[in-house]
Each structure stands twice: as structure tokens, then as C-alpha cells.
Amino acid sequence: MPACCFAATRSWISHRPSSELVTRQRLVARMELSLTRPDDWHLHLREGELLQAVVPHSAKHFGRAIVMPNLKPPITTTAAAVAYRQSILKALPPDSAFEPLMTLYLTDNTSPEEIKLARRSGMVFAVKLYPAGATTNSQDGVTDIFGKCLPVLEEMAKHSMPLLVHGEVTDPNVDIFDREKVFIETILAPLLKKLPHLKVVMEHITTMDAVNFIETCSEGSVAATVTPQHLLLNRNSLFQGGLQPHNYCLPVLKREIHRQAIVRAVTSGSNRYFLGTDSAPHERRKKECSCGCAGIYNSPVALSLYAKVFEQAGALDKLEAFTSFNGPDFYGLPRNTSKIKLRKSTWKVPESYSYAAGEIVPMFAGETLEWSLFDD
């Protein structure tokens, strides 16, 4: 039996001409997917008014989410993570069952004792590695992982606490399109040789190099989250029809051969890959300016886009494992028990979402998508 449940209905009247029958079938054909409620294993919720504006979109679609800690100041302690969790819960719609899973921001000064506190809290589930200067609000990140962070990583390995890796080097002499490949070669591979029991999630992978590396690692030790944008867009999408700031994210979109490699990996049925949107909202003016922020806001459209990718690959029967099973299995958490339905039904993405401080432009703003969340 396939992982997800298909319900397709077709109606026709046999005495009608064949051409009319085909038209009739197309008009009334309906496909629904019943999925165990997915989780988002890489999500930016920000804070303040922006948090209040975006958290309902994630809560509508997902049961849980691994929440990124790169605020200002970053979430570097268990106490700060617990306080941030409370602010997220307060921003949720009434009766929402959405559960934020908190993370710590790794720095050169993070201590093994903080990892013990995090594990005992029952609210912190991972630690995020940002190489200093690699992306938004990463200036406080790690400068020397081998010289300053090994005791912390050893403690994490003892507790099976995953290290979530933004896998890019920050050396200005390395081409931006090669930074993931070089990170794997010079940092990640040597790190895993030193600490083979450390669990690692390679976040938002973008290259064939990442896929090839993951496939060489022992199962259950290294996995990857994959975003809608890196499955559907290549680097041409940054420049088609002029500069497209709302398609700019980090890691940056790559060549088509890399996109195809990631699609093949994700739709293969491998349990090493799972859903992580890296949804990263910015107010429109911070995207459409002389120095635009990196980040794509995709929470409202993510499930529609993942379904599109799997449908195009002829792999809809593998969608549920990617969205709902592989992530909790890797983290050692129970799978969700509730269900959602996706229906093959067109809908138009809003041009923007307004909130008190301005507006947020979602991925594929103004475009028509073919899969929609269906509420009974």
C-alpha cells in the first residue's frame, strides 16, 4: 500500500460521445491526498509583530516545527529558548495544537552544561550551527568549530541531540555557488570523522554534492531538510525578467543539475530527507531595497509546492513519508496522529500578507497553484 491515501472520483455517462466524456471527466475529476499531519523541521518565526503575522500560517498546515534561534539577540540559552517558546504559544490562534520545538544558537562560548540544561528542559530539541556571517543574523555564530566547539558537540552526541548545520563556508575567496561543497569537504566530513556518533541535519541542501555525501553516511546519523524553493527553482529564477529579490535566499539557488539531483533524492523514498521549509519572512521593504535580505516566505504555499514536486516525479505515494514520517523518526519523536487533506484544486496565492508594520510577499505571489489544503 502507498504511504498516503488517494481518493479519486471520476463520473461519466456511457452513452455520450467520447469527446464529451473526456471533457466531463476532466471537469469532475477530483483527487485528494490524506496525509498524516506534517511537521516543519526548519522554520523561522521571528518575533514581535512579525511573529504574530506568520505563525498562524504554519499552525494551519503543520503539527510541529523546529524553530530557528537566530533572533536579535540570538537564543543561546535554555532559559531564552523557553521564554521564546512562550511568546510563540501566545501568538497562536485559539485552540491551535501547533507545537514549537526549540533550538539553541551555537557560539564559540556555548558550554556542555548548557546542553545538559537543554536536554533536561524537554523543550529544546537541537542546536543550530551558523558559521559566523553565513546568513541572516549569523554574526554571533561559530568562528572555529574545531578549536572551540568540540566539547559541546561531544556532549550533544552523548544525548543524541542533533546538530543542525547551515552548511556554507564564509571565506570570501570561495565562490558563493561552491560554499556548500567546500563546507562538506573542509568542515563537515572531518567533523564526522572526529565525532562519528554526532547526529547531523544538513539544513536546506542545495547541491548534488550534498546528496552524494549524505548517501555515503551511515543511516540514522546524517539527514537533510529540503525546501520548496530548492526543489522548484534554479538560479535563473533570481534574474528572469529582472532581479527577483523574493527568490533570493541563502544558501542561494543553484544550477539546474543540482536541483534535479535533489528532486531525485527526495522523491526516491529515502528516509534520509524530510520537510524543512526554511520559511523566512521579511517585511517587503527589507527585500525590495539596495541591500535586500535573504529569505523566502513559503509557509502558506509549502505543502502545495511539495505535492507539485512529487506529482511531477510520479511519486505521490512517497509524499507522506517525506512530509510526516522521516523527520520525527530521525529526531526520535512520535509521528503525529491527526490527518490533513490536500485536494487537486486550483487557488491563487495572495500578492502579499499585510500586518501592522507592513506586508510580507509569499513565494509564488499572485500565481495559481494546483494543490490546496482541504478543510472538511
Residues with a known catalytic role: 42, 44, 128, 166, 204, 278
**How far is it between the farthest Cα atoms of the chain?**
78
Report the candidate in 322, 309, 310 with the shortest Cα–Cα distance to residue 274. 322
Q: What's the rounded Cα separation, in Å, for the pair 341 and 32?
A: 7
Residue 276 has what DSSP assignment? -
Residue 64 DSSP SS3 = strand
Query: Is the C-alpha dihedral spanning 371, 373, 375, 376 positive or negative?
Result: positive
Q: DSSP assignment of 310-333, as one string?
A: HHHTT-GGGHHIIIIIHHHHHHT-
Q: What's the rounded Cα separation, in Å, for the pair 52 and 50?
A: 5
Q: What's the rounded Cα separation, in Å, for the pair 136 and 356?
A: 22
Question: What stretches of 16-162 adopt beta strand conformation (E)?
Answer: 30-36, 40-43, 64-67, 99-105, 124-129
Burial zone of 122 (CB within 10 Å; 0-12 exposed, 13-18 middle, 19+ buried)? exposed
- Bridge partners of 246, per DSSP, are none
Query: b/e per residue, 237-248, with b = 16+ CB within 10 A?
Result: bbeeeeeebbbb
Query: Is the C-alpha dihedral spanning 186, 161, 159, 119 positive or negative?
Result: positive
Query: Is the C-alpha dihedral spanning 162, 166, 169, 171 positive or negative?
Result: negative
Cell numbers placing 334: 512520535
286 within 8 A of 293, measured Cβ to Cβ:
yes
